[in-house]
Amino acid sequence: MKIFNRYATLALIALGIFAFSSCEEEDNSETINFQSLMLEPNSYWNGSDGNGGLTFSIANFNNSYDATYDYWEGFAYSNKIDMETPGWTNQYSAYLLDGGNYQNVYSIAYIWDESATITFSQPTNIISAKITNSTWAYLSMLNGGGNTKKFEEGDWFKLTAKGYNASNEEVGTVDFYLADYRTEPHYIIDSWTKVDFSSLKNVSKMVFTLSSTDVGDWGMNTPAYFCMDDFVIEYEK
């Protein structure tokens, strides 16, 4: 009986190892963390080299750059973490209350219309991403200044992500408030915050937009930026 129990135990262990290996083989998720850009410390990439959008794995992150005006929109990449300088001269910094890591490369999006778009070379399930404010947006909401207002009761700043299938049909929408003063406690996002995008399945295109209660004659006054890292996707490999 003892010999039988020993072989039975070994068989169960082997079965467990096989099951664990099978689960690993079926894990088709991938985390895009942008570290392959190898930026110098305290630097950024905004498309000025004319490469246009960059591709990471199966995902292409849109970028448009105009050399005449040194103007860009879509996705840029940075490791800057200046949390003190307000205004457009500091448009490439993430606001991270813990100080961040100057060696960590993340994406920063400047959005005009639907310029912050990610396209996928095959149908993809979006799982999650880490999101925070840019320093420019954070300080403008916290303190006001220029044509932006200091946020008060009822104000908000919202990121919206929409997924589209291969037929360009919308398959889902996710909203995430980068700042919310509608109810207590008021907050402005100040650290990497995981956002669940798992409702966006079989996506061929993902489009980000921003909206705010601070709106003027020319549109939204809140600086139209957000920062993203650890973008997790799932697809057939």
pLDDT at residue 25 greater than cutoff 50: no
Q: Which helix (H) or strand (E) holds 116?
A: strand 116-132
pLDDT for the residue numbered 113: 87
Identify the CATH homologous superfamily for domain 32-234: Protein of unknown function DUF4465 (2.60.120.1350)
- The pLDDT confidence band at residue 114, using thresholds 50, 70 and 90, is confident
* pLDDT tens by residue, 175-200: 999 999 999 999 999 999 999 999 99
> What mean pLDDT comes out for the span 127-148?
97
pLDDT for the residue numbered 93: 98
pLDDT for the residue numbered 178: 98
pLDDT at residue 174 greater than cutoff 50: yes
**What does the angle CA 127 – CA 130 – CA 102 come to, to the nearest 5 degrees?**
140
Alpha helices, DSSP H only, in the chain?
A: 2-26, 135-143
| CA 198 – CA 41 distance, rounded (Å) | 33
> What mean pLDDT comes out for the span 208-235?
97
Q: Which amino acid is at 9?
A: T
Q: Residue count of the chain, please give it.
A: 237
Please, which contacts does 187-191 make with residues 24 or more away whose CB atoms are closer than 8 Å? 188/133, 188/138, 188/141, 188/142, 188/151, 188/157, 189/95, 189/131, 189/132, 189/133, 189/138, 190/95, 190/96, 190/97, 190/132, 190/133, 190/138, 191/96, 191/97, 191/98, 191/132
The domains of the chain are located at: 32-234
Question: Rounded to an integer, what is the distance from CA 137 to the centroid of its chain?
Answer: 15
| CA 13 – CA 11 distance, rounded (Å) | 5
| CA 37 – CA 40 distance, rounded (Å) | 9
The CA–CA distances, whole Å, from 234 to 11, 77, 127, 203 equal 33, 22, 7, 10
